[in-house]
Structure 1
Amino acid sequence: MDWMFEDFKTDLDTLNPIVREKALSIAKELIEKKDISAKEALSEGIIRAEEWFYDLEG
């Protein structure tokens, strides 16, 4: 897990491993491209990753 999101470990522990990795990837991208906090980026990343995963599952 990325050190940047260590404080939010409990938010990530309940996720499917595939969704967790996607959420971290999205959150990192949001932090790089937007001026938002790690918490906001992770929350948005989790939402987007779950939507992405459900779209894959059909």
Structure 2
Amino acid sequence: MPWTNGDYPPSMKNLDTRVRHKAIEIANALLDEGYEEGRAISIATAKAEEWDKDHPK
């Protein structure tokens, strides 16, 4: 099930909005590649937080 900025996993609710948007984008791409939802969420969250550190506002 692809996620949107208005419908995303509960585990992403406490992320900064900018990080959450990136995590949703990454998670949806991982789902398209065949990853399971739980794995996609954890990978996407970690990658989005890493991306945020490398791309300051």
* Fold conserved between structures, TM > 0.5: yes
- Of all paired residues, the percent bearing the same amino acid is 29
> What is the CA RMSD across the aligned residues, in angstroms?
1.7
Q: How many pairs align?
A: 52
Matched position secondary structure for 2:15? coil
Structure having the larger proportion of residues in helix: 1
Please report the TM-score for the alignment, with normalisation by the length of structure 2: 0.78
Q: Which runs of 4+ in 1 moved over 2 A?
A: none
Unmatched runs of 5 consecutive residues or more in structure 2: none
1:56 is displaced (CA, Å) by 1.1
Q: How does 1:21-40 map to 2 (within 5 A)?
A: 21-33=21-33, 35-40=34-39
Unmatched runs of 5 consecutive residues or more in structure 1: none
